[in-house]
Structure 1
Amino acid sequence: MKRTIKKVAVIGSGIMGSGIACHFANIGVEVLLLDIVPRELTEAEAKKGLTLESKIVRNRLVNEHLANSLKSKPSPIYNQKFASRITTGNTTDDMAKIANVDWIIEVVVERLDIKKMVFEQIEKFRKPGTLVTSNTSGIPIHFMSEGRSDDFQKHFCGTHFFNPARYLKLFEIIPGPQTATEVLDFLTDYGSKFLGKTSVVAKDTPAFIGNRIGIYGIQSLFHLVKEMGLTIEEVDKLTGPVIGRPKSATFRTVDVVGLDTLVHVANGIYENCPNDEQHDLFKLPDFVNKMMENKWLGSKTGQGFYKKVDKDILSLDLDTLEYRPAKKASFATLELTKTIDKPIDRFKVLVKGKDKAGEFYRKSFAGMFAYVSNRIPEITDELYKIDDAMKAGFGWENGPFEIWDAIGVEKGIEIMKAEGLEPAAWVTDMLTSGSSSFYTIKEGATFFYNIPTKSQTKVPGQDSFIILNNIRESKKVWSNSGAIIQDLGDGILNLEFQSKMNTIGGDVLAAINKAIDLSEKEYQGLVIGNQAANFSVGANIGMIFMMAVEQEYDELNMAIKMFQDTMMRVRYSGIPVVVAPHGMTFGGGCEMSLHADKVVAAAETYMGLVEFGVGVIPGGGGSKEMALRAADLFHKNDVELNVLQEYFLTIAMAKVSTSGYEAFDTGLLQQGKDIIVVNKDRQIAEAKKHALLMAEAGYTQPIRRSDVKVLGKQALGMFLVGTDQMEAGKYISEHDKKIANKLAYVMAGGDLSEPTLVTEQYLLDLEREAFLSLCTERKTLERIQFMLTKGKPLRN
């Protein structure tokens, strides 16, 4: 049967429930969010004369929880306007409304008795065929559906979202004893296509896949830190970005998540997995028990493994359990990896380290490899699901089996044996059968070692994705030091940046022009996209800084013109150009998006023209483009200045969207032209589809604009008065004012005596002149240097 999800009910509005409600609102689904009725009045309610029968009181818990969630940082919602899609209520008065929803998600407290009471209540009102799922993180699914009707059990399973629901991609689906196959198939597809998740079907075992492996990893580090005499800062240094893990690494992550949450899951595994060969490792170390007693639970209690006192960060000494100033950690082995860009390529070097870091990696990887190999077939039959769960649920760039492959399967076994560990028998069988790795790449697809068949089997679900890692070399058309061009098939090329942080310098600009040349001669269209952590942090400011310091102004002028000309080629080429931004899309990366025929942005796109932070204005066509977009919205003379001011402020305040959807509000994306993709894995395939659609519809090369209305002195005067007032009020510095006035001059079209129609090139020339003049300013050079050395903006 065809199933569509138009309305969802979420029962339980705590941090997790509100987060799930917000994420469904993110994707356009109507949400009914319910929680219990309070048992007593607050002092404020009593003073107002309210009673327990007042609706405002009866819905107080759900409304407070949702309001707190919407105020939290990072935000659970793509755009605050989307919160209107959520209706609140309570489980006493409003439960009957679940008869009108397509999916009911239970997110109440982790107690089986309470969950069973909620399901009994749900069954009274749900219509047959409605999906019912639990977001439990550990209670066995088969216990929850006991005593429910056949229709309920057929449509019931676990759907475990990871917190925060918007940002963490893992969506574990855990079948109950009678869950229908079509329900599992539907949820798997829905999770991927609509929720933007990595859907993983797990077995009904304690903590499922993600938490079983993730909590093992954290618990093993808790024991290893004591065994090796390491500090928490050293462990966080060793388990962070250097190995492709989040900056919060291990101990900071526990502080953010909450030590009590970790302890709850670890205890559940300890109690319910008596036959786990690492059973004792899930027993909590003494220092954790003491922290629990002291209620040092992390961010929620103001202290955990770290504690902030005024501006100082203190860290916990695990021997004395006293806080001390955090110490910087450094290891010789890590220095050896500084020139290796990709974490996956560092593992071979890390396990060979001769210092304490090398010993740490050998011990921790040996334990992890042995543990994951022994969890098959207990928690899953397919090894790729473990990797998917760790990448999507814990933010690892590479899963355990991918890391093992990178080190070498036989080398992994060698370091295991050195620690007195053995892999599961199937690993040795794999090597004997002729497979030397867990994964292989064939014909642009990823294959995994299938244990029952002893052969490499294609990972399912790839057909809707284009994975650049899989085609980078086999489909390469051209490359230079900064970028690579691949053939996506059907006449569409892809240009992938490969510079550090995907910055845009001369080599990337040359590659853009080459990609357009090739597309115009032999292909139908071009996608500019990559699958790195971020699309692009902008122009190579190091190159700009060197030219400005050396006062090579002619060369700098030519470099800026080349950037502008390349952006204009993106706009005015003979083939459709689709740009696919995601993550940080700053400065030049944003300007490239502004000039595309279409933008296919990931929902998690943080887009902004942030050049003010380094003392300049957007110089790659961004200032011109924002003036042009404002002009296209001019309708009546009385609002023209207001429209232009909004676009001016987007640049002057260096506004960065907190999602792709928010970029429409700042004018960086355009309604009716640009689109958002929730699942980043589908982005390149979606961008290719739109490039092909435009090509096949008969793409016509656009004509350069010569009808851009600029307001001249009328607008310039308004801007200059505004910047004077801002400086006088000490809101901006003298140099901020200088930059803002330069931008004002460009966006007003100069000091023309009356509104005039001008060409894009006229505005580009003004923009380039302003950019160049700011590069001669000492304070701009200070800002650029500060950004290059400190990685953050300087206010001077």
Structure 2
Amino acid sequence: MKRHIKHVTVLGSGIMGSGIAAHFANIGVQVLLLDIVPFELTEAETKKGLTKEDKIVRNRIANENFAKLKKSSPALLYSPKFADRITVGNFDDDLAKIKKTDWIIEVVVERLDIKKSVYEKIEALRKDGTLISSNTSGIPINQLVEGRSDDFKKYFAGTHFFNPVRYLPLLEIIPTNDTDPEIIDFYMSYGAKFLGKTTVLAKDTPAFIANRIGVFSMMNLLHSVKELGLNVSDVDKLTGPVIGRPKSATFRTADVVGLDTLVHVAKGVEGSGTEQDMFQKGFAMPSYIDFMMEKKMLGSKTDGGFYKKVKNAAGKSEIQGLNLETLEYELQDKNSFPTLELTKNIDKPLDRFKVLIAGKDKAGELYRKSLGSLFAYVSHKVPEISDEVYKIDDALRAGFGWENGPFEIWDAVGVNKGIELAKAEGYEVSDWVKNLAEKNQTFYKVNNEGQSTFVNKDSGEYSKIPGQDSFIILDNIRKNKTLWSNSEAQIQDLGDGIINFEIKSKMNSLGGGVLDGLNRAIDLAEKEYDGLVIANQGTNFSVGANLAMIMMMAVDQDWDDLNMAIAYFQKSMMRVRYSSIPVVVAPFGMTLGGGCEMTMHADRVVAAAETYIGLVEVGVGVIPGGGGTKEMTLRTSRDFHNDDVKNNRLRDAFMNIAMGKVATSAYEAYDMGILEHGKDIVVVDKKTQLKTSKMLAMSLASHGYTQPIEQKVKVVGKDALGMFYVGTDQMLAGNYISEHDKKIADKLAYVMVGGNLSEPTLVTEQYLLNLEREAFLQLCGERKTLERIQFMLTKGKPLRN
């Protein structure tokens, strides 16, 4: 079905409505955001002499929520400029505008009677064929359309986004019995292709998929914590990043989401009458939850839930946890668990589970209990909530931020071992899983074409997971497509004349092994292939240079070796720019320092929308030394028309580097000059990034790519240098920066103006690289720089000294 979405109307401007509106604005859609007319005037409105008929009063609720949207942190918009794509209004005055909209998304209060009354008004105004959907999370979708027209029913479905909408990629699509199959396909494809979502087709069952499984898992932990004598911080330590879950883990997640929300979903499932007897007890509320609900201890929204920020006896703020026995807040003991120590050298969370469930301490017991119950539960949810196992795993990864879904984890520990864990907890898994175990089958396997397949619960046959034609999964092709590897990097053949260079070091930092691999990849591509992509599918693209290596050389005063190392880095970046084959870089997540420099030297960039990119080296006491300073100087020197424009552009670039500014999206990176309009592109769906990069490299090669000629750079010399020195003097005098900050900024300015030249001059890129490297080395000899590097290595955050 060919359908274009140019305008969307969102009914309800609360947290979810605002988030949905913002995300449609992010992808270039015009949005009308409506809410109710206030019942009463505020005191401030009365003092101003306003009445209920004034537009500012009638739109107050939508305007207030729109203002919160624009100030939200983390930001809901990719760029503040995108707020211009949203118009606000109210239901009474502006609902008739839905006649010209392409999609109406209802996000009003979770009450069936209210939603039905809104639909009645919509039906009187809506044009036939207009999409209409609800973001409900607790009301059966089929009940919503009772009494509506055939056309309304045909185009209606549940479109359940997760909060925050920009950052959580899950979109559950829940059709009614009357939804046109072509419309279902449209919702699924549009959500994936345009909104960048993991779209999961769900059945109209209580809490749908993600909340049904995720809340069961959380409730199980709420019961287990007291049984095992653990405290809330213990459980969060055990159920966070160590098992591939968000840092907020269990209890902090409950605080962020709101305990009332968790209880609402759990009670909804408990009271639905659909749950099997063996699992019903899992949704019952522990007594301490009842106490917290009664006392309104709901989490972040009430300044206290399982955790609370308090002032201690010394007057300092500290985070205390709730003692589940006394129901008082206290500093919680930091317990150690030998089981966790056994996993320190296991990089992938999925590979840790076999070790974790074998633990002899309380940690091991918690993992056995939680996984045993989870495995049993998900086995019985197929086919109740989903006919396919991959949909359940997709939903938990995208909606709850799990690195691996329950069936993936089950495969990792072994199907028979999972059955054993479930039985130990008093559960029986479903018959189809028992049959799978008897045949020694797994839930997933990779076929000979490098595609992920899942098992059919009835036939035992494997089917390809849909949608893989639009993306490449590196985990699936490494076995047969790896051309070369070392401990820090790997080169894979992507087919069609394109190879991929993948960084695989710790946190994808850029050290000697990575640079050796990069140069080998360029050599190989130039000799035997048509193009090179630099991409990985880790948590982040790259956090920058290997600081430990720099620290070691600087402390030992191995200046010649450090000079050679920085020169090698610069040379490698220049090879990315000036090789004889097209190089496409695919940044995402944290792309900092050297990762940003690598990106800026590519022929083309295919950036994920969620790319947090910047030159942050000042945070560790140096300037960008891998060509970043040179590159920003080069870019600001283009198209100068007069001195004012020239100096302003140079000043903006200087300030971005000197303040260590990081773009909070790929679109913000355009504004900072890190990405370039007309050359670099952004993809909202990160899964398609590698395939898109490959296609772009192929296109460049097929159109006759020619190795670029090195550029000359016009630098402005000592006149501009004086301007920068005055600025840093004033910032120091105003206590905005430290003495060491000033020293770093002055050296940065010296490089960006081209040194102490008497007049504007054309220089080579190598001239600027030499200045850059010299300044970098000088700063590495400063004690305060070494303090900053050491602090970053040990604490993981910058030191201001």
Question: Which residue number corresponds to residue 764 of structure 2?
Answer: 759
Q: Contact between 2:446 and 2:476, CA under 8 Å: does it hold in 1?
A: no
Question: Which residue number corresponds to residue 446 of structure 1?
Answer: 452
**Superposition map of 1:463-478 within 5 A:** 463-478=469-484
- Residue 762 of structure 2 aligns to a residue whose secondary structure is strand
CA distance in 2, matches of 1:183, 1:485: 41
Amino acid in the other structure paired with 2:698: L
- Residue 542 of structure 1 aligns to a residue whose secondary structure is helix
- Residue 146 of structure 1 aligns to a residue whose secondary structure is coil
**Superposition map of 1:573-588 within 5 A:** 573-588=579-594
Question: Which residue number corresponds to residue 729 of structure 1?
Answer: 734
Q: Contact between 2:444 and 2:452, CA under 8 Å: does it hold in 1?
A: no
Deviations 1:560-595 (A, max 9, x none): 000000000000000010000000000000000010
- Choose 442-451 or 537-546, whichever is displaced more: 442-451
Q: Contact between 1:527 and 1:578, CA under 8 Å: does it hold in 2?
A: yes
Question: Which residue number corresponds to residue 300 of structure 1?
Answer: 301
**Superposition map of 1:652-667 within 5 A:** 652-667=658-673
Question: Which residue number corresponds to residue 792 of structure 1?
Answer: 797
Q: Tell me which of 391, 398, 407 is aligned to 1:401.
A: 407
Matched, 1:720 2:721: no
Amino acid in the other structure paired with 1:280: K
User: How many residues were matched structurally?
Assistant: 795
* CA spacing shift, 1:618–1:285, aligned 2, 3 Å: same
Q: Residue 441 of structure 1: CA displacement?
A: 4.3
* CA spacing shift, 1:304–1:266, aligned 2, 3 Å: same
Matched, 1:134 2:140: no
Q: Residue 382 of structure 1: CA displacement?
A: 0.3
Structure 2 gaps, min length 5: 312-316
Q: Residue 639 of structure 1: CA displacement?
A: 2.0
Q: Residue 503 of structure 1: CA displacement?
A: 0.2
Deviations 1:89-135 (A, max 9, x none): 11111111001111100000000000111111111111111111000
CA distance in 2, matches of 1:395, 1:219: 17
Question: Which residue number corresponds to residue 271 of structure 2?
Answer: 271
CA distance in 2, matches of 1:488, 1:693: 14
Q: Residue 683 of structure 1: CA displacement?
A: 0.5
Question: Which residue number corresponds to residue 220 of structure 1?
Answer: 220
CA distance in 1, matches of 2:381, 2:755: 68
* CA spacing shift, 1:150–1:637, aligned 2, 3 Å: same
**Superposition map of 1:97-176 within 5 A:** 97-176=97-176
Question: Which residue number corresponds to residue 747 of structure 2?
Answer: 742
Question: Which residue number corresponds to residue 394 of structure 2?
Answer: 388
Amino acid in the other structure paired with 1:756: T
Question: Which residue number corresponds to residue 539 of structure 1?
Answer: 545
Q: Residue 267 of structure 1: CA displacement?
A: 1.1
TM-score, normalising length from structure 2? 0.98
Q: Contact between 1:633 and 1:643, CA under 8 Å: does it hold in 2?
A: no
Question: Which residue number corresponds to residue 210 of structure 1?
Answer: 210
Amino acid in the other structure paired with 2:298: L
Question: Which residue number corresponds to residue 36 of structure 1?
Answer: 36
Amino acid in the other structure paired with 1:245: R
- Residue 576 of structure 2 aligns to a residue whose secondary structure is helix
* CA spacing shift, 1:51–1:424, aligned 2, 3 Å: same
Q: Residue 436 of structure 1: CA displacement?
A: 3.7
* CA spacing shift, 1:633–1:284, aligned 2, 3 Å: farther
CA distance in 2, matches of 1:390, 1:442: 27
**Superposition map of 1:542-561 within 5 A:** 542-561=548-567
Matched, 1:285 2:286: yes
Question: Which residue number corresponds to residue 241 of structure 1?
Answer: 241
Q: Residue 435 of structure 1: CA displacement?
A: 2.1
Q: Residue 416 of structure 1: CA displacement?
A: 1.7
Amino acid in the other structure paired with 2:105: I
Q: Contact between 1:237 and 1:329, CA under 8 Å: does it hold in 2?
A: no
Deviations 1:204-235 (A, max 9, x none): 00000000001101110010111111100010
- Residue 638 of structure 2 aligns to a residue whose secondary structure is helix
Runs of 4+ in 1 over 4 A off after TM superposition: none
Q: Contact between 1:440 and 1:456, CA under 8 Å: does it hold in 2?
A: no
Amino acid in the other structure paired with 1:426: W
Deviations 1:456-509 (A, max 9, x none): 111111110111111122110111111011111111111111100000000000
CA RMSD of superposed structures (Å): 0.9
Deviations 1:418-460 (A, max 9, x none): 2222211001112334524444444111000111322111111
CA distance in 1, matches of 2:370, 2:126: 48
CA distance in 2, matches of 1:72, 1:217: 30
Q: Contact between 2:231 and 2:332, CA under 8 Å: does it hold in 1?
A: no
Amino acid in the other structure paired with 2:471: F
CA distance in 1, matches of 2:420, 2:274: 28
CA distance in 2, matches of 1:612, 1:193: 38
CA distance in 2, matches of 1:273, 1:230: 32
Question: Which residue number corresponds to residue 612 of structure 1?
Answer: 618
Deviations 1:29-53 (A, max 9, x none): 0101111100110011111111001
TM-score, normalising length from structure 1? 0.99
- Choose 433-442 or 382-391, whichever is displaced more: 433-442
CA distance in 2, matches of 1:251, 1:656: 30
CA distance in 2, matches of 1:613, 1:441: 46
Q: Contact between 1:313 and 1:326, CA under 8 Å: does it hold in 2?
A: no
CA distance in 1, matches of 2:695, 2:664: 26
Question: Which residue number corresponds to residue 493 of structure 2?
Answer: 487
* Identical amino acids, percent of aligned pairs: 67
Q: Contact between 1:435 and 1:455, CA under 8 Å: does it hold in 2?
A: no
Deviations 1:388-445 (A, max 9, x none): 0000000000000000001111111122222222211001112334524444444111
Deviations 1:670-714 (A, max 9, x none): 111111100100100111111111111100000011x21001101
Q: Tell me which of 772, 777, 780 is aligned to 1:775.
A: 780
Amino acid in the other structure paired with 1:577: V
Structure 1 gaps, min length 5: none
CA distance in 1, matches of 2:336, 2:447: 36
Q: Tell me which of 350, 361, 365 is aligned to 2:371.
A: 365
Q: Contact between 1:197 and 1:679, CA under 8 Å: does it hold in 2?
A: yes
Question: Which residue number corresponds to residue 314 of structure 2?
Answer: none
